[in-house]
Structure 1
Amino acid sequence: MKITVTAEKPSDDKLAAKVSVPADDVDAAIAQAYKDIAHKYNFQGFRRGHAPRPVIDGIMGRESVLAQATNEMLNQVEPLLLEELDVTPVGRVNFGEDPDLAVQGTDYVVDATVGVRPACELESYDAPQINMPPDEATEAEVDWQINQLLSYQVSYEDLEEDRAVVEGDLVSVDIEDVEGAGHLAGTNRMLQLDGNQVPAELQAGIVGMKKGETKEITWTHEHEHEGETHSHTFTVKVTLNSIKKAVTPELDDEVAKKFGFDTVDAFRDAVKEEVEGDKKTSLPNLKEDRVVEAVGKLLKLETVPEDYQNEIFNELATEFLNQLQRQNMSLDMYLGARGVKADDFIADLHVQAEERARQSLALDAVAAKLGLEATDEDIAKEFERSGVEDVAASVNEWRGEGRLPAIRDSIRRTKALDWLVENAKVNVVDEVAERAAAADAPEGPAPAEAPEASDE
């Protein structure tokens, strides 16, 4: 099928186009509809597939046949239209609620509306300025990595101070199930009261307890299921055995030996080598991430269109669920293991979707400003990298399905990102050392507010 397309400039994130299908293709679509109906249904007196058109018209109704032909023809038109316009649609192409029916021997003309991403501008098209860690491992980075390794050697000792439990403490408790809380029961359970490990009501009940004290704690949990609210009551008896403190060993030759090294110096050298090896692969990706994040903040767009943001949200959700499936884990298992509420998870995913949408639109803007294009050679290389056996066949298949515009979008964005990364101004910063200094800095008075700038 060949089509002729006349398109207007996009307006309000919609692209209007007039599509014309030649009469020969219209006739072929109608003939195919008659053929399909003749094979699908039994018509008395005729072998399946051999009923003539007048018989089919008399039983099915000619308008029904033309409606089927029109619908099938529009299904074929949609990918051709997207390829012709080289546009990745937001949602489905809309041919109107009640498009005209195809007419034998006549060109078919229909108006189409395609949802598109907004064409945006940036506050600046200069490559951004970003901070990056140095290529070589710093002393602070080595120290941080060693501290992470030493954390596996941590021991827990009773706090000698006789005081009540406060939020943030690590405690040892015996929990006896009284009602509905068998999953929490246990002896000498170590609990970190950081708001994540146990229900908030249980943590609140433990706060204020003293060593040797026993206390009964009750709370109710409500949740929605199939539109109904269900309540569950839990009661436990808690005995506080002790408040614990974590003791990290000092690094010396004896500790270094536990990691397979004779001396501290040998241990530090090995850690430094590991950090620098990791940087060779992680820093290029980090640079890309920071450049994309920076350019996304330059987007001159107040609100991302809801349809586009929802499309990105669905992509993120699908990616995440597929990742969980590869790990043989359900979403409920994931949320339960991390103590995350479903509503909070969805809200966070929406935030990520808006951020990714802004970054994608920003890269589109850079590509348009630089006049970057995706050539046939670029497309072929993209398919080669994916490992397909027959590149030409795969390209034709994607073209026939109207999916090549998405590949071109990806290529243009990649080219834009490559340009931004190559031209970004980089400040080398020992970020680990800065974070350590900030953590060790004593809290002082808040800085005075700067006076507001005058309009005069």
Structure 2
Amino acid sequence: MNITVTTEKPEDGKLVAKVVVDKKDVDAAVAKTYKDIARQYNFQGFRRGHAPRPVINSIIGREAVLAQATNDLVSEVSPLMLEELDCVPVARVDYGDEPANVVEHADYELNATIPVRPDVELDSYDAPAIEMPPEEATEAEVQAQLDMIVSYRTTLEDVEEDRPAESGDTAVCDVESVEGAERFAGEGRMFDLSSKMLPAELLSGIVGMGKGEEKEVSWTTEEGTGEDKKEVKHTAKVKLTGLKHSVTPELDDEMVKKNFGFDTVDELKDAVKQEIEEDKKNRLPELKEDRVVEAMGKHLTLEEVPQNYADNVFNELASEFLQQLQRQGLTLDAYLHVRNISTDEFMADLRQQADERARQALALDALAAKLGFDATEEDVRGEFEKAGVDDVDASVAEFKKEGRLPAIRESIRRTKAVDWLVENCTVTVVDEAAKDAEAEGDAEAATDGDAE
């Protein structure tokens, strides 16, 4: 099919294109529609597929035939237009309320409004400076892994002494929802009073309670997003029925031999060290990419991501997440229950992640344009070869016909931008496990000081 595409400069995230279809292709589309209708319906006195145009016009109506031919032509032209413009729309292409019907023996003109990503600028196009953990396993990393391993053997035991609930305890409570606290209601509910996943006001309300004491605890949350965001009040009647504390076994040779199959603690440490370093061989390159991209996203001068692009990325992220849950054999409801978070909280977090991903993608696009990165035919073929398709030429032709090659080229340009960032960024090696342990110790010291 022969088409001519002309465009104006994009404005407000919209690219206006004028498409002209050659009259020969218009006539071919009309002829195909007549043939399709003749095959689809039985016309009395004619074999299926052999009804002449006048008969079809008298029964179906010529305007109806031309309308169908127009719809089919627009469907065929749309991906060709996107390929011609090398454009990835962020929402449905708008052809107006009702495109005019084609006219036989005449070129067909079609106006399209394509929602596109905004052209953006960065306040710096230099490769960023980032921090990375060392390639070898550090003592702090080994210790953190050992602490985690031992924590799996931690048990909860009753607090025998008569004392108020403290942070770090696990409180056993009977909870009645007074207002909006249904997901916490029930008898014998256990709350880790040092949890970061539960409402801080609920936990602080329980801290200081004695066994058998009852009280009402209230807190508020923000639910919804954008203009629909609202503040919701929650109130629960809580009765403390018991206290438990965590008991972690000492890591010694006997415990290691009994539970992990090593003769000594040192042997376990060596195994953990080796495992950490093997994991880093695969994880650090991906971590480096993530951090340089995150850093570049902060240089985007755009104040707010356009809603249509934000929605596009949100839907993409949600689809990826649901597919991941499906592979793990989980439902979204089960995931939310295990995490003890509401649907609104999950949606708000996903929206924030989508906004960050959108900003990072826009930053990569801006960097790729600034550095002149392009996606050649060889690059495109290389993507199909890496995917292991049997017939590269056929796959490329199919993607081109369906208007999907622009997305492949977009991905290639972004990958080149990421590769450039990885190669040119400045890296400072930091023992992050030791840093986190120090910060946690400072936080615990501050908490103990406040308690005193």
TM-score (norm 2): 0.85
- Tell me, in whole angstroms, the C-alpha distance in 1 between the residues paired with 2:369 and 2:37: 48
Superposed CA offset, 1:182-222 (max 9, x none)? x9556xx75424568899999799665534x3879999xxx
Contact 1:321 1:331 in 2 (8 A): yes
Residue 140 of structure 1 aligns with an amino acid whose one-letter code is A
- Tell me, in whole angstroms, the C-alpha distance in 1 between the residues paired with 2:198 and 2:17: 58
- Tell me, in whole angstroms, the C-alpha distance in 2 between the residues paired with 1:443 and 1:175: 31
- Tell me, in whole angstroms, the C-alpha distance in 1 between the residues paired with 2:198 and 2:348: 22
Superposed CA offset, 1:164-187 (max 9, x none)? 2256521357999xxx99x9556x
- Tell me, in whole angstroms, the C-alpha distance in 2 between the residues paired with 1:157 and 1:332: 31
- Tell me, in whole angstroms, the C-alpha distance in 1 between the residues paired with 2:205 and 2:270: 48
Q: Using the TM superposition, name which of 418-427 and 245-254 deviates more.
A: 245-254
Corresponding residue SS for 1:153:
coil
- Tell me, in whole angstroms, the C-alpha distance in 1 between the residues paired with 2:240 and 2:161: 18
Corresponding residue SS for 2:294:
helix
- Stretches of structure 1 lacking an aligned partner (at least 5 in a row): 220-234, 445-456
Percent of pairs identical after alignment? Answer: 59
Matches within 5 A, 1:10-409: 10-159=10-159, 161-166=161-166, 169-171=169-171, 184=186, 191-193=191-193, 209-211=209-211, 213=212, 240-241=241-242, 243-257=243-257, 258-409=259-410
Contact 2:210 2:240 in 1 (8 A): no
C-alpha displacement at 1:47, in angstroms? 2.8
Contact 2:171 2:240 in 1 (8 A): no
Corresponding residue SS for 1:93:
coil
Q: Using the TM superposition, name which of 342-351 and 149-158 deviates more.
A: 149-158
- Tell me, in whole angstroms, the C-alpha distance in 1 between the residues paired with 2:186 and 2:380: 56
Residue 107 of structure 2 aligns with an amino acid whose one-letter code is D
Corresponding residue SS for 1:249:
coil
- Tell me, in whole angstroms, the C-alpha distance in 1 between the residues paired with 2:330 and 2:372: 44
- Tell me, in whole angstroms, the C-alpha distance in 2 between the residues paired with 1:159 and 1:218: 23
Q: 1:319 to 1:46 in 2, by over 3 A?
A: same
Corresponding residue SS for 2:400:
helix
C-alpha displacement at 1:346, in angstroms? 1.1
- Tell me, in whole angstroms, the C-alpha distance in 2 between the residues paired with 1:126 and 1:370: 11
* Residue number in structure 2 paired with 1:422: 423
Q: 1:2 to 1:351 in 2, by over 3 A?
A: same
- Tell me, in whole angstroms, the C-alpha distance in 2 between the residues paired with 1:173 and 1:117: 51
* Residue number in structure 1 paired with 2:446: 443
- Matched residue pairs, number? 423
Q: 1:43 to 1:201 in 2, by over 3 A?
A: farther
Q: Using the TM superposition, name which of 426-435 and 265-274 deviates more.
A: 265-274
- Tell me, in whole angstroms, the C-alpha distance in 2 between the residues paired with 1:190 and 1:10: 57
C-alpha displacement at 1:373, in angstroms? 1.0
Corresponding residue SS for 2:149:
helix
- Tell me, in whole angstroms, the C-alpha distance in 2 between the residues paired with 1:9 and 1:401: 25
Superposed CA offset, 1:213-242 (max 9, x none)? 3879999xxxxxxxxxxxxxxx9997734x
Contact 2:33 2:65 in 1 (8 A): yes
TM-score (norm 1): 0.84
Corresponding residue SS for 1:96:
coil
C-alpha displacement at 1:331, in angstroms? 1.6
C-alpha displacement at 1:317, in angstroms? 1.1
What's the Cα RMSD here?
3.1
* Residue number in structure 2 paired with 1:225: none
Corresponding residue SS for 1:164:
coil
Q: 1:85 to 1:130 in 2, by over 3 A?
A: same
- Tell me, in whole angstroms, the C-alpha distance in 2 between the residues paired with 1:279 and 1:201: 39
C-alpha displacement at 1:2, in angstroms? 1.7
Q: 1:354 to 1:290 in 2, by over 3 A?
A: same
* Residue number in structure 2 paired with 1:412: 413
C-alpha displacement at 1:92, in angstroms? 2.2
- Tell me, in whole angstroms, the C-alpha distance in 2 between the residues paired with 1:28 and 1:403: 24
C-alpha displacement at 1:265, in angstroms? 2.3
Contact 2:173 2:238 in 1 (8 A): no
Contact 1:16 1:114 in 2 (8 A): yes
- Tell me, in whole angstroms, the C-alpha distance in 2 between the residues paired with 1:237 and 1:81: 63
- Stretches of structure 2 lacking an aligned partner (at least 5 in a row): 177-181, 219-235, 448-452
Q: 1:307 to 1:236 in 2, by over 3 A?
A: closer
- Tell me, in whole angstroms, the C-alpha distance in 2 between the residues paired with 1:205 and 1:123: 46
Corresponding residue SS for 2:69:
helix
Q: 1:193 to 1:122 in 2, by over 3 A?
A: same
Contact 1:196 1:339 in 2 (8 A): no
Residue 122 of structure 1 aligns with an amino acid whose one-letter code is L
C-alpha displacement at 1:259, in angstroms? 2.3
Corresponding residue SS for 1:427:
strand
Contact 2:364 2:418 in 1 (8 A): yes
C-alpha displacement at 1:250, in angstroms? 3.3
- Tell me, in whole angstroms, the C-alpha distance in 1 between the residues paired with 2:174 and 2:121: 61
- Tell me, in whole angstroms, the C-alpha distance in 2 between the residues paired with 1:137 and 1:197: 29
C-alpha displacement at 1:59, in angstroms? 2.5
